[in-house]
Structure formats: C-alpha cells, structure tokens
C-alpha cells in the first residue's frame, strides 16, 4: 500500500484525489484547513480557454488539450457516480476582436488548430449579429473568433463532485486541519493516522510515501518548511453575479462572450457572471480590491451587452490567484532535493482549465 497525502482541496487537490482514487494500491488522504473550493477555486469563473488560446506546442498546449479532452468524459462520469448536477456550458467561447487586432494571427491559429484536430472559426460582424442579437457591436469591434470546443464549468460544483466521487472510491478527507510543518520539528506532535483539528504536523518520512502540495498560495510556506521555497504570489480578481428580469440573447446559443479580457458567462435563469479584474500587489504588500477596476469591467460588459445595464447585481466577490514568481505557470514537478514531495500549484488563471491534466501528470509521477 502506497500512502499519499494531498495538501489542499481546491479544484487541483480534488482532481488529483479523484484521479488517484481509481488505483486501489494508493491510500490517499486529503488535508485542508477549510471546506473544499473555498480559496481561488470558489472565486473562479470556470472559463476553459484552451483551443482559443495562442499556446500551440510544448507543455502549455499539451496540458490544455489533455484537459479539454478529459472534461468531455469527466463531467458525465462524475454526475453519474455522485448524482450531482455540474453546470457545464458546451456552447463554446465567442471572442470579440477589437480594432487593431491582427486577424492574420487568428487565421494562422485556425489553420494550426485544424491540423491538430480542433475547430476555430473567424466570424464577421454580420454573423455575430445574427446569432447574438443582444450584443452591441460598436465600430471598434471588427470580427469575432468562435471556439465551439472550448467550455465553461462551475468550479465549485465540479470540486464538490470530485470530492464526493473520491470519497466513494475510499479517499479520506480531513477538513479543518491546517498543516504547517511537513517534516515535524522540535515542537511537533506527529500522529500515526491524521492530524487533529487545528494545526497538523505531517512528518512525511513517518506517515506518508508521497506528499502532494496543491495548496495554491499556501504552497509557498509549506515548501519553506522543507527549506525549498517555491515562490508563489497572489493576484487578486474581482467578479460579479447578475440577474436580468428579462430574456437576454438567443436562447438557443449562449456561449461565453469575451472581449479585452472581460468575460460574460451565461448561467441558468437569465443570470450571468461577469469578470474579472487582474490586480497585482504594490511593493509585495497585501492587495486591496480596487473598486474602480471592477467598475471598468462592469462598464465594458454593459457596453458589449446593454441589457446587463438593467440587471440586478446579486453578488460581488474577489479571490486571490496563485502566480509563480519569475517562472511560468503552473508548477507541476518534484520538489528539488526531495523525491517524495510533488508540487501541483501556481496555476494562476488556469487552475480549472488545467486541473484534469495536472491530476494525470501527478498520477504518472507516482505510478511511473
């Protein structure tokens, strides 16, 4: 029996737990100081920008492609096993292109995707108007890119389903447990089964064969306790949840709309998510949500979809995305100097998109 500990139960930790749960030789325990999906996962919009991204080769594209392919089977699989409904928009992503956009780059990407077996379409303004009459195409909108095979998923619903499915397969979850010292120190009180609620001490050498750090921003402090700091820093994002009293758009075609990094995500019952800001820390200090930046996002969304001006704001929220400092996101690797500690963190803005591929990569490292 191979004993595996996972620290963190956002979308990444939950995806890894479910992936590993399908191998009976692995005994998996997941630790988190909060209930599942409370960190950056709970704040995410779940827009899976894979085919429409300009990543076309190497690890960046491989992770995206693997995840998109897996999502098509993963969602129905989880729904069947758990009985949970996971909102999963399969109507694609429509990206509006502003004046100054180099459409030749998109034409090149369309050809590349076709050679890779994926579909992208370049639409003129007339086609956008026909299929999305609720959008206001001012003179600055010159065209649109439609990606029918990209998706959007509810990150919280997905994470909870992953947890339930992993539990069914025998994974043990320890919530309300804050793990601070991975190896045990002078004041450590190691346990033989699991940490007690509060602060947990996990001496890897004694209790587990593998340790997977999927704690997002918390991964930095955990690696520091092993004297191998992986520097992951926060980037704040704000978003809104809206409800319209009237029907908005074409009921038969409701893709995610995106333009200039502003997303309009259609939900059920004429509700929408709109976001998100990208806010960095000044001088490494704490990030305070900038109300003006959120107002700019909302203004952009209303200019694209004027009907949203009359919509009720149900909720505003913010979350911190984990971004690696000085290196590409995400970090999926063995911790330097420790061949039993794996890092699966620092996914920045693509945690939901890359979760299935991350889980597969971690499984391959353990079962190689």
- The pLDDT, as a whole number, for residue 183 is 67
Confidence check: pLDDT of 83 > 70? yes
In a domain, 72, yes or no: yes
Q: Parallel, antiparallel, or unpaired: how do β-strands 151-153 and 88-89 relate? A: antiparallel
- The pLDDT, as a whole number, for residue 285 is 80
User: What is the C-alpha separation between 123 and 145, in angstroms, rounded?
Assistant: 6
| Structural domain of 340 | 1-89+152-231+325-368
In a domain, 284, yes or no: no
- The pLDDT, as a whole number, for residue 193 is 41
Distances (CA, A) of 70 to 40, 89, 173: 22, 15, 24
What integer is the mean pLDDT of 324-344? 95
In a domain, 160, yes or no: yes
Are 355 and 73 contacting, i.e. CB atoms less than 8 angstroms apart? no
Tokens read off for 352: 């939901």
Helix H or strand E segment including 96: strand 93-98
Q: What is the CATH number of the domain that holds 331?
A: 3.50.50.60
Helices (H), 199-274: 204-207, 219-224
In a domain, 46, yes or no: yes
In a domain, 119, yes or no: no
- The pLDDT, as a whole number, for residue 368 is 84
Distances (CA, A) of 38 to 43, 218, 291: 8, 13, 22
158-169 confidence digits (pLDDT tens): 999 999 999 999
To the nearest whole percent, how much of the chain has pLDDT over 70?
A: 93
Enter the pTM of the model. 0.94
Are 298 and 241 contacting, i.e. CB atoms less than 8 angstroms apart? no
User: What is the C-alpha separation between 235 and 279, in angstroms, rounded?
Assistant: 6
Q: What is the dihedral of CA 72, 366, 223, 11, to 10 degrees?
A: 20
Pick 71 or 227 by higher pLDDT: 71
Are 16 and 343 contacting, i.e. CB atoms less than 8 angstroms apart? no
Q: What is the dihedral of CA 331, 362, 35, 262, to 10 degrees?
A: 50
The C-alpha angle 203, 11, 189, rounded to 5 degrees, equals 15
In a domain, 243, yes or no: no
In a domain, 258, yes or no: no
What integer is the mean pLDDT of 101-120? 97
What integer is the mean pLDDT of 317-333? 96
Per the structure, how many domains does the chain have?
1
- The pLDDT, as a whole number, for residue 206 is 67
> Which is nearest to 304 in space by CA: 274, 345, 280?
274
In a domain, 104, yes or no: no
Tokens read off for 160: 């909870």
- The pLDDT, as a whole number, for residue 200 is 52
Q: Parallel, antiparallel, or unpaired: how do β-strands 232-243 and 271-275 relate? A: antiparallel
């Amino acid at each position: 029996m191979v004993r595996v500990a996972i620290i963190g139960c956002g979308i990444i930790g939950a995806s890894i737990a479910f992936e590993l749960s399908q191998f009976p030789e692995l005994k998996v325990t997941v630790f988190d100081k909060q209930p599942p999906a409370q960190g950056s996962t709970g704040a995410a919009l779940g827009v899976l920008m894979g085919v429409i991204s300009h990543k076309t080769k190497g690890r960046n594209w491989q992770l995206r492609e693997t995840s998109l392919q897996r999502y098509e089977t993963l969602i129905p699989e989880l729904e069947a096993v758990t009985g949970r409904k996971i909102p999963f928009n399969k109507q694609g992503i429509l990206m509006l292109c502003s004046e100054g956009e180099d459409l030749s780059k998109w034409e090149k990407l369309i050809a590349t995707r076709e050679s890779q077996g994926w579909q992208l379409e370049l639409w003129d303004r007339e086609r956008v108007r026909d299929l999305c009459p609720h959008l206001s195409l001012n003179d600055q909108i010159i065209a649109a890119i439609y990606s029918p095979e990209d998706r959007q998923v509810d990150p919280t619903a997905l994470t909870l389903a992953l947890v339930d499915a992993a539990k069914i397969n025998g994974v043990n979850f320890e919530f309300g447990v804050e793990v601070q010292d991975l190896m045990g120190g002078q004041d450590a009180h190691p346990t033989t089964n699991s940490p007690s609620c509060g602060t947990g001490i996990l001496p890897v050498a004694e209790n587990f064969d593998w340790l997977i750090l999927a704690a997002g921003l918390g991964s930095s402090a955990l690696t520091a306790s092993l004297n191998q700091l992986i520097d992951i820093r926060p980037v704040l994002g704000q978003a809104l949840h809206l409800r319209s009293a009237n029907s908005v758009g074409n009921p038969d075609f409701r893709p995610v709309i995106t333009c200039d990094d502003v997303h309009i995500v259609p939900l059920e019952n004429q509700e929408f998510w709109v976001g998100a800001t990208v806010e960095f820390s000044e001088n490494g200090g704490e990030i305070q949500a900038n109300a003006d930046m959120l107002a700019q996002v909302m203004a952009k969304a209303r200019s694209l979809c004027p009907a949203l001006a009359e919509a009720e704001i149900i909720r505003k929220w913010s979350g911190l995305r984990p971004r690696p400092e000085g290196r590409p996101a995400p970090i999926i690797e063995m911790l330097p100097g420790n061949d039993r500690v794996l890092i699966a963190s620092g996914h920045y803005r693509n945690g939901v998109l890359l979760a299935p591929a991350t889980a597969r990569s971690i499984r391959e490292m353990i079962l190689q």
